[in-house]
Structure 1
């Protein structure tokens, strides 16, 4: 009840009208992808090594290297990707601000035209454009033209941090399972735990994106299973051949 009372009368409690939506979705997306990548990457490596040798030392070394290297790689990748998006948004905001300063009349007509194209009458569209321009011209144009909120530009640091931490959390699961379970069942146990973990990330990803959960879970589980079977097979072949 308290949260409903804090919302404006036009806002549904379960709809993302509040500020900061892009930021939250940004780090949530990076976190889910990081966890999924950590689970698959580390599991594939340790299972592959386990296919070649039963010794814990090589498995721990390879798993730890994959865990740290992968987390850093994911963080750098997210930072570069989101930095590009942020720079593009900032460039568009600066361009729109400059146009409003240099050609305010043309910008007003443009804004009215956008609302008219959405179904408003010419007079109503112009009235809406004038009122929004008087309140905050830049915000009105960014929203109508570019679907950008200047106060909600995505942060590359948030995405990088979320991705790195999620990779570490996801990757530590298969590493611990394969090291702590008995040698006779370590590969099977790791495989099963990884499948459950991937199903969880698939469901969460689908929930965040508003898509079908079952399909997303099946898709990511199948992909992970293929990766583990492939690396284990390669590891076993190398181990049996005496190369590894």
Structure 2
């Protein structure tokens, strides 16, 4: 008996130590934070480089950059709030529909649940037993999770997404503006571009690592598209600067 109790205690301790760290609980805030910071750096850097390429003064470049920071942060917040709110509305409607179906056709919903478990590899007796026990425990939660893929952990949070996006955009947008302040008034483009690309590469690497993806790939793809965007804005700024001079 003592040996059995010792074995049980050891098994429980191993289970407690073995807590898998999946990335699903990070998807919501990570997406909003990465998009916000990435857009803040890239859009402001592109705006600053484009205006500077048109031979504008540093004060004009800073005015354009600050305006871009404010407008971009508010735009990101509004966009995220509307997008995530729409997702939340859709999921709430699905919850209400599932609740009504359970109230009006409990047997049909139970059969549907059993078939889901059979499709996942269980034999019918075991699938029926699992469906019975989970339905008795939490019928609505079971159907939302196993039939529709909806869980509390991944529930949309519009205000959180909006605030996170706005804050991260503002922080990201501040980096190119700091580079403008520290650079020479006559040579702003390259310092802004280099500082922004380094920041974007670091951001891509951190986001990739946090999400469990390859770090190098995350940094390189951000660098490629960001450099392309900055080159395009620089070309447009130079073109308009020449045409208006």
Calculate the TM-score normalised by the size of structure 2: 0.88
Separation in structure 2 between the aligned mates of residue 60 and residue 7 of structure 1, nearest angstrom: 57
Q: CA, structure 1 residues 181+6, in 2 after alignment: closer, same or farther (shift >3 Å)?
A: farther
Q: Which residue of 2 aligns with 1:42?
A: 44
Q: Cα RMSD over matched residues?
A: 2.2
Aligned pairs for 1:129-144 within 5 A: 129-144=131-146
Correspondence for 1:14 among 11, 21, 29: 21
Among candidates 33, 41, 54, match of residue 35 of structure 2: 33
Equivalent position of 1:125 in the other structure: 127
CA deviation vs aligned residue, 1:217-244 (integer Å, no higher than 9, x gap):
1111111111112212222232233x16
Match of 2:54 in 1: 52
1:64 is aligned to 66
How many Å separate the matches in 2 of 1:7 and 1:57? Answer: 62
Q: Does 1:109 align with 2:142?
A: no
Number of the residue aligned with 1:211: 213
Change (3 A) 1:213 1:64: same
Query: Does the C-alpha gap of structure 1 residues 7 and 193 become closer, same or farther in structure 2, counting only changes over 3 Å?
Result: farther
Q: Distance in 2 between matches of 1:228 and 1:193?
A: 12
User: How far apart are residue 205 of structure 1 and its match?
Assistant: 2.8
Within 5 Å, give how 1:122-201 maps onto structure 2.
122-150=124-152, 152-201=154-203
* SS at structure 2 position matched to 1:148: coil
- Residue pair 1:32, 1:204 contacting (<8 A) in 2 also: no
Which one has the largest radius of gyration? 2
- Aligned residue pair count: 234
Alignment partners' CA distance in 2, 1:15 and 1:7: 18
1:232 — aligned with what?
234
- In 2: Cα distance, 1:151 partner to 1:189 partner: 42
Structure 2 SS opposite 1:146: coil
Deviation at 1:201, TM superposition (A): 1.9
Deviation of the 1:149 alpha carbon? 1.5
- Given the alignment of the two structures, is residue 84 of structure 1 paired with residue 86 of structure 2, yes or no? yes
